[in-house]
Amino acid sequence: MNRVGLRRGWWVLFVSPSLTFLALFAIVPIITAAVLSFYDWDLITDPKFVGLGNYRELTHDSEFHASIIHTLVFIGGYVPVVMIVGLGLALMLNKRRRLQGLSRVVFFMPVVSAWVAVALIWTWMLNPRFGAVNWILEKFGFDPPAWLFERGWAMVAIIGVSVWKDAGFVMLLFLAGLQAIPDSYSEAARVDGASKFKTFRYVTLPLLSPTVFLVSVLLLINSFQVFEQVWIMTQGGPVGSTTVIVQQIVRNAFTFGRLGYAAALSWVLFLMIFAVTLLQTRLQRRWVHYEL
């Protein structure tokens, strides 16, 4: 153990490159953003201190409120569906090792593709007049909506495309979680005469709950930051029915040149994410089992 004493001091060398860049390009900007949120600044005139003015303003900024609601609608649709699809795929692929290699590539094609590219593919696929989706739906006798051009359906399309893109990633995480569960548990249940469904419900699912928890935390944090698919597919339309929080930050900062206000909005976004993550960790004690 005295060797540890000899090597004391070396940690500085190892940690400092990462820490320097983290300080300069993450910590300093985070603090600056907090300070900036108390100012009014358009980059042209001098910054003006307004105290809590920006925060007071956002309490009656109806566009911002609408964007919060749309973001919550997105989360409410996307998170449960992508978790169910991802878990379903993982359950079907678990124990089918030979299918896993190919499936990992196939289901990861959307995951690894840029959001901009995926959004453009689906803008084309969902084109009401020339798109492949509506052509097929009409063939089968449906009367399909105009998707991205129709209130209500635009959000459905955004949620659907987001599930399509991320299902493979959720599947990978659940597969890793499933493979960490020893076979002996489900075998014991089978020996005791439990049906497949009961084994899943009372053995696999509780043992998988730490993974379910982690995945849900990750998905919630990410989905509060939804932006690119909306920016490309609808720009917040039609008639502002799909605007999201990040889009409001972007617009205020770079379209209206209201840097202080944008910083205040970004802090509100952070506080929302923080509050939800905290709530989830509090609630986890009620449903997450680390052993049977």
- Binders in 165-184 for another protein, by CB under 8 A: 167-168, 172-173, 175-177, 179-180
Residues shown for the chain: 292
* Amino acid at the residue 141: G
Question: Which segment (62-70, 75-83, 113-121, 200-208) binds another protein by CB under 8 A?
Answer: 113-121
Pick one of 38, 55, 104, 276: the residue that binds another protein (CB under 8 A): 104
Q: How many CA atoms lie within 13 A of 159 on its CB side?
A: 20
Count other C-beta atoms under 10 Å from residue 244's C-beta: 28
Q: How far is CA 108 from CA 33, 87, 164, 166, 288, in A?
A: 35, 15, 10, 8, 28
Pick one of 199, 211, 223, 242: the residue that binds another protein (CB under 8 A): 211
Q: Is 28 in the site for another protein (CB under 8 A)?
A: yes
Pick one of 68, 75, 93, 158: the residue that binds another protein (CB under 8 A): 93
- How far apart are alpha carbons 27 and 33 in whole angstroms? 10
Beta partners for 40?
A: 48
Nearest approach, Cβ of residue 205 and another protein (Å): 16
Q: Locate 278 and state its tokens.
A: 């905290």
Nearest approach, Cβ of residue 270 and another protein (Å): 5
- How far apart are alpha carbons 110 and 223 in whole angstroms? 17
Question: Which segment (58-66, 73-81, 101-109, 140-148) binds another protein by CB under 8 A?
Answer: 101-109
Q: Is 154 in the site for another protein (CB under 8 A)?
A: no
Q: Is 194 in the site for another protein (CB under 8 A)?
A: no
Using the structure block, give the residue that is written with the tokens 């860049």: 21
Nearest approach, Cβ of residue 263 and another protein (Å): 5
Q: Is 112 in the site for another protein (CB under 8 A)?
A: yes
Q: Is 105 in the site for another protein (CB under 8 A)?
A: yes
Q: Is 205 in the site for another protein (CB under 8 A)?
A: no
Q: Is 137 in the site for another protein (CB under 8 A)?
A: no
Q: Locate 224 and state its tokens.
A: 């509060």
The shares of helix, strand and coil residues in the chain, as percent rounded to the nearest 5, are 75, 0, 25
Question: Which segment (52-60, 141-149, 199-207, 250-258) binds another protein by CB under 8 A?
Answer: 250-258
Burial 166-189 (b: 16+ CB within 10 A, else e): bbbbbbbbbbebbeebeeeebeeb
* Residue of 236, 280, 275 lying closest to 79 (CA atoms): 280
* Amino acid at the residue 156: V
Question: Could you say which residues in the range 218-247 bind another protein, by CB under 8 A?
Answer: 221, 224-225, 227-228, 231-232, 246
Q: Is 4 in the site for another protein (CB under 8 A)?
A: yes
Question: Could you say which residues in the range 59-88 bind another protein, by CB under 8 A?
Answer: 88
Pick one of 125, 137, 276, 288: the residue that binds another protein (CB under 8 A): 125
